[in-house]
Every structure is written in structure tokens, then in C-alpha cells.
Structure 1
């Protein structure tokens, strides 16, 4: 059967679902262990083995791999941040994301030095001509620093310290995070005295490097490892306290009204002029007997990389709020057609891996004609998130706000769900027996073993003998949803193609 279109697949047969529901868990676990043992015939790296060791059949035993420490790289434009990132990574990487839609203004990369792995966060998008540049640059740096364990502050040694640099330094000092001052563009020993002028910034010894030629970068990385913790203090999951909810949406869809109504007070300025909110506002709210932490975020503009001044940096804060949240409520204004902006915001949530609830606001203004058009728009533009719970509300009047809590709880429960390894491999066996992967280039890729690598969001890894078509991976995602629900949560299916050991 062709798999070029996932919609061609029939629903999961009831007998398959029944068999999996009544599966002898002990037998399933034994079979999974046998499949796991068969992987020893294949080339596995240390990361593979760590992943396999973390696989468990105990749904209550949620194992998280240690969070990698985070190193933020900040600095003005044209000081060589991008070149330094590429040099540390040992390869050329795009420093701006080429994914269509909402631009992510901080891009993360996995790096390694002397057998230590860490995450680099490259910050971009500082606009020299934006109004209030000193405050805006500091706002961008503040977000990056807040989400990092240590900071590389890159300065052009040929230019020397500028007023903007000094503005950021004040924020860096108050952050209490380890900061290493990098004097870039020191291409030879004759230029080293110029780096000495950077002592005046008060961040200690400047480390002279040439990101372009690699000079001094190894010594810099040795220094970095002395200040980075083994396990990140900021990237690890928080499992205590109120669940964190980010309220997202384009300007003037009613995000602030929603927060005010749930909080029972005028907590956030509400104005008909779009874009009133500048900074995210945290608010602990009690709904349905539970305490939640809501974050009202500045509306995302049509093109984040073109937004000017305060709006541009408000967009950055929106991204930061989403990264700190567990579930996102995307607010859509039903009195207007679903726009490209709305779809881009949903994509931003999917990219972040957060749980998702769609809140259709101003429902009290909806007439029958608009309702018919809206359903068509949802089918057309939001079909890829048909798994997200929908609530129809009026933030202004408070209508149906009580429905928000069950939707949030459902999405978070899905986000936290773990499938036992034995049952997952039993499902894979049913899937591949029902619809084997097509032959590609004379070979048919086989799934050797599958495991759930993590929750939040549920992430599955397949060890395979060849590349699986994206359509086939979506087919597996669909089967997982049919059997286990996962309403409100992205489901990620990754693969690791492994070859047999050479005898």
C-alpha cells in the first residue's frame, strides 16, 4: 500500500487496539529486551547506550538525561559572534534559522570540547538603528543571560569598548552569572595590546581570540569548562510549583483581557491599540481550585525580524516566556479570519515542544455565517494541530473560562505521558506487519527497536536499518495518537540509522 499520503492510511483496527490493551506486559517486556539485545550487533555510540539504559517499562519512573549546561554568546553586531559560534562547533552553521514563519532570535547548538558536551545559544537580531538602542540591547542580553549558566561577552578589540557595551556590562554584573570577556579579531600577537583596553569594562581579563583564524579559541574553551556546571542549573525541568502557562497570540486578540478575567483584577493594561503589552507579566491565578502561573506576553508582530524598537524586543521576551512555560494557550480572535500570523504563532509553539491549547476568543460575537467560515478556516489552516484541545471563550465577559482548566490539564497530562518500552515495541510490530515501509533503492528499512527517550513532549526514538520516509514517521505518530490520545501535546518521532558491526 502506498504511503505517500498519510491520509491514505485507515484507522487503527479495533482488534489491534484490543490486542495491545490486553497485552501481557511481562511478555511484551521480555520481547522488547530481546530486541534491545539484538542491537548489540549494530554500531552504537555512547549517546545511543545512554538512551537505551534510560529506557524503562515503569511509567512512573520518568528518567531525564542530565540537562546540558548552557553557554550564551552575546555582543553587538559585527563583533564576530557568528564566526566564534562556527569555530567552537567546528563547522559552518546558519546563525539565523531558515524555517519559514516566525524567526527565532536565539538559536541553540550542541557543542563539545574535551569530552564535555554543552549547549551554545547564539543571540542575534540587535538593530543598531532601533530606538532606545541601549535599553533594547540590554533587554536582548538579559533574556539570553537569564536562560544560560555562563556567558561569553564578545567585543571587537579593534573598536574597543563602546557605550552600548558598557550598558550591557551593567546588566551582566547584576545577573551574578559567570561572564567571560572575549576580545575578538586579535589575529596576531601584535594586536594583543589593543585587547588590554577592554580591562576598562570591569569584567576581568579579556581573552584575546581570532574567531576567523581560530587563534586562542582552544584556550578560551578550556576557560569556559572551568565555569560551566556539569549539569545545567537553568535548563533542567522544574517539577514542583504551579504549572506554567504562556498566553500567546497576535496583538489585540484579547490575551490581556483573558489574564485579567482569570485573575479577577485589572492586572494588565488593556487598550484597543494593538501592542500595549511590552513585557511578560507573571500572575499566579487560582482556577478550579488549582493555582496556575500565567504569563501574558507581548503580541507577536507579523515579522519579528522587521519589528522596530520596543516591539522587536517585546517579541524576544515572548519567545523567552514560551521557553519557560509548559503549556501555551494560543488565543485566536474568531471575529476575524485566521491569519498567517496566527499559524506562525502555532508553529512557534510546536517548535518549542510545549503543550498546546487553542482558545477561540470573542465567541459571543460570532454569528452563523462567520461560524461556517471559521470551521472551514480551522480545517484548512489548523489541520496539523487537530489534536489540540479547543475552548470557545469570551475573555471580556468570562464566558466558558471554566473550560480552560480541563483543556490545560488534558494537554499537560499528555505532555507528561510515558509509554512502556514493551508496549511501544508491540505497537511497532503491529504497525510494520500491517503496513511495512516501502522499498527504497532496492532496500527496505527495518525498525530494530523503539523507545521513548523522554516526556515533555513525548519523544520516541527508532533504531532503524535505513532512513524512514517522513510520511511513514507521521504514520507512526498517528497510530500513537489513535491508541494513546496525546491530546494537546506534540509527539516527536526521531530515528537513528545504524549499520551492523564489521566482523
Structure 2
């Protein structure tokens, strides 16, 4: 009999007690009040149309820096090279008590090809779905042929346009901004997105340009947040586009196309979900640099903000150490978990056998995760994602009544009591569920329990109450010792 896999022998049933059995002073009353308290308040969400402001312009004119300035935090990925932003990325913003959505876009270029063409198409789509457009121009360069081509594209869109003369870091450069009158979009608003100069006046102009009846996106009432995570080039953006039935995210065979987390409201299985396409994680955050470092931080934050994560693995490649690291990141964040083996259309019989062995060996730490075999390219089994999401989230928020939980534990411990250690055996006095999302259980005991026995209790909790798709936490709280003054012999 080992401590890791105890044989659970050596105690009579009379020695086991899981009834509510505590004397005065053994536990603080606050222990039970805390365990029984409901956690979290449901925040009211405003309904109705929310104005949408699209930020467009040539590459590297400071669009993402301006977005960060407007939302008041470093959310959009910024680096001093063109082409860092590639998708439409929406953020909530607030100015003078007015809420609106700001949409960052990739650099727009005329006659773009390949991936640049897809990025430009995303920018044009942002213009079409917006209420106001912020057209950003580098005032230190002045109007260019590409800027004039962008103006023609904006005029076709028919949306109000606010002209932003960016990189005006001092009063001397304001004279340079006057050259932008030649674009025919009215008064240029000189700002420094980096330093914040002129940003307040710009936001006042944005609010003035918003139509009385905005036609932008409608703020939903609490769609469940789903993070799509995985290594680069496993098909996260392809899956998002398949589910959305349109090109929401730029897809390219080159790994690392997605940099910012891309939020999209998508209808799956008759329900609206908020899917977040994230940057591929190729290494630990501490070993990443530049754009990859900040993208890794955004992905980690997206996991924390999500309720459930869909970790995509490339089914026709071996499960890698990085795959396991990402899965562990999700589990440690306490999020519901679905593992989707993508590119199943490329898997032959030999690979299926090898994959089965890999799952048993490499994923044994998360046997509770739901697993799907899908193909984002062909659409195979993607319709099974919605039921899996609902199952994982239902279990993630499941609460077991205290009475039912203690009845279960009474039968469990009577059948398989804790082993004797040094002539003694700790008793479980009481148990309660301290919280949900994920489920957390507290065992009040007379002493510390073997880690193996705690794992045994967790495994049986899963079998009894079906917690597939969600991590659960079981903690032990030994009662306080009363005779603190007794000397040690």
C-alpha cells in the first residue's frame, strides 16, 4: 500500500465519520458562511445599438497606437514595423459618458496582393459595418498617393470620416498637418497617439460625427466567451471563418498570421457565442520577443477572460510539448476545456492508432477534457462543437447541494476509508461546494489527507456528478488545534 495509490484498508466503518461533527471552537463560523456564500454579481449590460468607429489608414501610420490611446490601455499589439495588425479587432471604448466600439484594422493599400489583399479586405469590411471612420495619416510624411486612393475607397463607403493627422508631437509639426486639407476630407485633427496630444479634441469630434441613429453592432446580452487557442498554423482562424460562414480572420499558410485576439459574435447551434481567435503560441512567454511577446500576453489575457477554451491540435502531427503547455495554461486558469483535433481529413489509419497512444500518454493529466475530431477545411464534425461547448459550460457552472454532497461522501468514505498513518486516520467532518466556474469543493477534516486520497475523492466526484469538460478543485481544511500551549515532548 503506497501513499500515491492507497489500498484504503485498515479502518472499520465505525472509525469513519462524515456527518456534521464539530465541537464549539473547532471551526470559525465564517468558514461556513464563506463556503455557502454565492459568488459574483451579474453585471447589467446595456442593450441597444452601440456606435462603431473604424480606424483605417496605410500601414505603420499609428492606428493601433491610437486605438490604445482611445481605450486607455495597451491592448492592441504595437511594433515599429508595418503589417503587425492583420484582422478587424474590436474594443469597447468610453468618452464623455458615451460608449462606442472602436475597430482596429490592418494597413490598407491599393492593388494589394496575397495576404496584404486579405488584410485590405478586412479594413474595407470594417468601413462598411461602421458608423464613423477615423482615417489616420502620418502628418510627418504628408498626403501620399496611397492616402488619396484610400480617400476614394472611403467616399464609396458613404460613412462620415474624421481625418486624423497623427504623429504631431509638438506645436511646430501642426503646420505640417495643414497640408492634409488637400485630401478633401475637411479639417485634419492633429494628434500624437503616442503621447496623447490632441486626443481629447479628436474624441469630441468623433462623438459629434456619430449619427443620431447608429446602425453599428448591437450590444448582446452576455454571449458566452470562447477562446480559440493553439500553436501557430493549427487552423484557429480557419475554424472561426468556417463557423462564421465568412472571412472574419485572415488565413495564410504562413504561421503567425493572427497577432491580436479577434472577437467575433458567431451563431453556432442556434446560439450566439463570442469567439476569440488568438495568436498561435510557439514558445513560452518568457522566451518570446517583439510582436510575439506581446501577442503571447494578449493570448494569455484572452484565456483569462474566456469561460471555455477550445485548444486546437494538428491531428496529423505528434502532440508536442507546446501543445501540452497550452492545455496546462487553460487548466490552470480554471477554464472549461475542449480539445479539438483539427485537420482530421489528413489522418489515415496508422496515424489514428498513433494518436490514440499519444492521447493516453501525453494528455493523461486532463482526462476530463472533452475531445472532438474536426476539419475546419471541410467542415467535418464542426456541428458537434456547440453541444460540446454547452456541456462543458454547464458542468463548469454546476453546483451540488451540501446535503447531496455529504450523502455522497458518507457512502464513499464508508466504502473506502482513508488509510491509517502512524496509528491514526484523519476524518472528513463536513464538505461543501465553495464556488463554481470552476467547481471548488472544501473538505473540513480532523487532519491533513494524503494527496492520493484527495485525488481519489476528486475522481469519484467526477464519476458521480459528471464534471466532463471542466477542472474541479478539491481543497482540505484541517480543523484548528485547541491546545496551543502544550509543550512538545
Q: TM-score, normalised by structure 2?
A: 0.60
1:2, distance to aligned residue in structure 2 (A): 4.8
Q: Determine which of 273, 277, 283 is the counterpart of 1:292.
A: 273
1:499, distance to aligned residue in structure 2 (A): 2.2
Match of 2:234 in 1: 253
Distance 1:294 1:449, change over 3 A: same
Match of 1:201 in 2: none
Distance 1:487 1:39, change over 3 A: farther
Is structure 2 residue 223 aligned with structure 1 residue 242? Answer: yes
Q: Determine which of 352, 359, 368 is the counterpart of 1:378.
A: 359
CA–CA distance in structure 1, aligned partners of residues 314 and 23 of structure 2: 51
Between Structure 1 and Structure 2, how many residues are aligned? 319
Distance 1:331 1:494, change over 3 A: same
Is structure 2 residue 332 aligned with structure 1 residue 351? Answer: yes
Match of 2:59 in 1: none
* Contact 1:338–1:381 (Cα < 8 Å) also in 2: yes
CA–CA distance in structure 1, aligned partners of residues 269 and 35 of structure 2: 40
Match of 1:5 in 2: 5
Is structure 2 residue 44 aligned with structure 1 residue 44? Answer: no
SS of residue in 2 equivalent to 1:384? coil
Match of 2:372 in 1: 391
Structure 1's consecutive aligned runs of 4 or more residues displaced over 6 angstroms after TM superposition are 166-169
* Contact 2:402–2:432 (Cα < 8 Å) also in 1: yes
* Contact 1:453–1:459 (Cα < 8 Å) also in 2: yes
**For each residue in 1:454-493, what CA deviation from the matched residue of structure 2 results, as whole angstroms up to 9, or x when unmatched?**
1111110111121112211110111011111111011110
Pair member with larger Rg: 2
* Contact 1:41–1:500 (Cα < 8 Å) also in 2: no
SS of residue in 2 equivalent to 1:292? strand
* RMSD (Å), alpha carbons: 3.4
CA–CA distance in structure 1, aligned partners of residues 319 and 35 of structure 2: 43
Q: What are the within-5 Å matches in structure 2 for residues 67-466 of structure 1?
A: 132=80, 170=196, 241-466=222-447
**For each residue in 1:177-216, what CA deviation from the matched residue of structure 2 results, as whole angstroms up to 9, or x when unmatched?**
xxxxxxxxxxxxxxxxxxxxxxxxxxxxxxxxxxxxxxxx
Is structure 2 residue 45 aligned with structure 1 residue 64? Answer: no
Q: Which runs of 5+ in 2 are unaligned?
A: 10-16, 43-77, 85-90, 95-168, 170-191, 201-219, 485-489
More helix by share: 1
CA–CA distance in structure 2, aligned partners of residues 304 and 439 of structure 1: 44
* Contact 1:39–1:448 (Cα < 8 Å) also in 2: no
Q: Which runs of 5+ in 1 are unaligned?
A: 11-30, 55-62, 68-129, 137-142, 147-162, 175-238
Q: TM-score, normalised by structure 1?
A: 0.58
